[in-house]
Amino acid sequence: MRNSIDGKNIVIIGSGIGGLSAGIILPLLNFRVTVVEKNPLPGGLMRSYSRSGFDCPVGVHYVGALGEKEPLGKMFHILGIPVDELFTPMGQQGIIDRYIFDDLIFDLPAGLDALEEKLQNAFPEDTTALNVIMKNLRDISRRMMEPSFLLNQGDPFQNMDYYQPMGELLDNFQASAGFRAVLSVPCHLIGVPLNDCPIIFHHMVLASYLLSSWRLKESGSKMTDVFVRRFKELGGSLILNNGVKKISLVEGKVAGVILESGENLPADAVVAAIHPKILLELLDEDALRDSFRRRIRGLKETEGVIAVQASVDAAAHPEIDHNIYRLSKNENGVIEDGAFYQLRRTHSPGANLLSIMTKSSYEEWSRWENTVSGRRGKDYEEKKMNLANILLKKAEEHFGNLKDAQILDVYTPLTIRDYVNTPEGSCYGAMRSARQLLKVVSLNNIPIPGLCLAGQNAMAPGVMGCVLGAFNAARQIAGSEKFIQKFQRDA
Ligand SMILES: Cc1cc2nc3c(=O)[nH]c(=O)nc-3n(C[C@H](O)[C@H](O)[C@H](O)COP(=O)(O)OP(=O)(O)OC[C@H]3O[C@@H](n4cnc5c(N)ncnc54)[C@H](O)[C@@H]3O)c2cc1C
């Protein structure tokens, strides 16, 4: 959106963290906001769900950079979201993540200096590469702390060298397999292969977790409640269980939305905090040039996951305050396979929650792609449970005997697809790879006056990426001058 909006009424499609964050920022800039959500409950992937009394996470396992002077911390402060009420710092025992390979264990420590020391000790033959990477990492984390990161769409994005794929950088230095594998994990985390993952995204993810890492104190549902509470406090109205069917345009400009119920909501601008491929379905065929449509339709998605939630005996399996990644790499250090584990305390006496996630392609589930959640049939349930049992068995390598563990729930890419309308159930939306970077960047400039994108496809995925994208959407709507004036003191 090239020009700011004169009017006052904004409709936001989608109540995930992207939509709700935009829904909080815009009233701070004096806009009237309505958030429309297709599901009966708000929160999208941020929200957790309950099974047999256990609260199971979906899209918030840990977040980075929530400290007071750090980018996400500053953004939460501006939003009026209390970090202390929701999050607890990780790394108190010195470890944020443990990466376990067949022949190597690497503990990701808190802080850039600590990481440098650890990598130097573990991979002395990679000193030249390490020096370059640490210099870039420090540069990017310094820029992430500057006000311009928040106010001007983030300076680090302006250095073209950072668009080089991380794999290419490591190739240039003939990095050892172990060094390459350890540094691949942030790419693995955001679902972009190392050889196609721009340095900027790798370093932003790694830097944010190194600045500080945090887990939810309670649950994603509590986090959603706090976001909704703040949104309503600022006068926002939330429509649930009533998706947007169509975005209406008058003379090529946004005029409002039509809901599934048939209701018409007029709007001066619409923020689509949904997947861009879903956005296309809400627009008339001739609203966008064919080439723009094709560009969006052709975007490659990040992969989905299969996730298992199991209750375990708390005495035998006490909480672990870091995450565990069990990873397999080939002889070149390329990660081929992996599982993520989190073992958390729960409110149920005597029981803890083990969450397991591993990549799962959409193709693997395409047999059931024309079915809906809860009605996919016996074969699907069987396949899901077989895989879940295999994953649980493999987890014994790290957690000991899990014979008494109870599987509470298993979700697949199809579950995520249907729950939040993300094509192929991709975890992080369209892939922000070097190869399709220009295409994804162009999403930030939808050529329809009054329409802009927010959520994980706008700027970057993850909690930080979505909140940053919401600030960016608000800046587009309010105009840079008004936006900077309002937020520069806290940026
Ligand atoms: C398994 C998994 C684990 C993750 N772990 C982490 C993590 O540990 N840390 C981290 O930072 N990030 C993590 N992420 C990523 C993070 O959860 C997402 O980037 C973020 O939640 C996306 O938010 P969003 O607002 O863009 O989209 P969503 O949360 O998908 O919200 C979009 C909303 O729009 C609604 N909607 C769609 N179409 C319509 C329509 N037509 N009308 C009305 N409403 C509509 C959907 O129902 C949904 O509620 C994870 C993601 C997944 C899937």
pLDDT tens-digit series, residues 410-439 = 999 999 999 999 999 999 999 999 999 888
Q: Is the pLDDT of residue 153 over 70?
A: no
CA–centroid distance, residue 414 to ligand 1 (Å):
14
The strand pair at 97-101 and 323-329 is best described as parallel
d(CA 89, CA 61): 12
d(CA 11, CA 129): 47
| CA dihedral of residues 342, 347, 350, 354 (deg, nearest 10) | -20
Pocket test residue of 20, 420, 464, 471 for ligand 1, highest count of atoms within 8 A of CB:
420
Assigned CATH topology for domain 9-50+219-299+431-487: FAD/NAD(P)-binding domain (3.50.50)
Two tokens, residue 128: 């030249």
Residue of minimum CA distance from atom 46 in ligand 1: 420
Q: Is the pLDDT of residue 355 over 60?
A: yes
Number of Cβ atoms within 10 Å of the Cβ of 100: 18
Residue pLDDT, tens place only, 394-407: 999 999 999 999 99
d(CA 233, CA 24): 9
Residue pLDDT, tens place only, 259-295: 999 999 999 999 999 999 999 999 999 999 999 999 9
> What are the domain boundaries of the chain?
9-50+219-299+431-487, 110-212, 303-424
- What is the pTM for the complete model shown? 0.96
User: How confident is residue 91, by pLDDT bands cut at 50, 70 and 90?
Assistant: confident
Give how far the C-alpha of residue 371 lies from the chain's centroid of Cα atoms, to the nearest Å: 26
CA–centroid distance, residue 38 to ligand 1 (Å):
13
Q: Give the atom of ligand 1 at the shortest distance from the alpha carbon of 44.
A: 49
Residue of minimum CA distance from atom 50 in ligand 1: 59
Residue of minimum CA distance from atom 49 in ligand 1: 44
Pocket test residue of 34, 45, 239 for ligand 1, highest count of atoms within 8 A of CB:
45
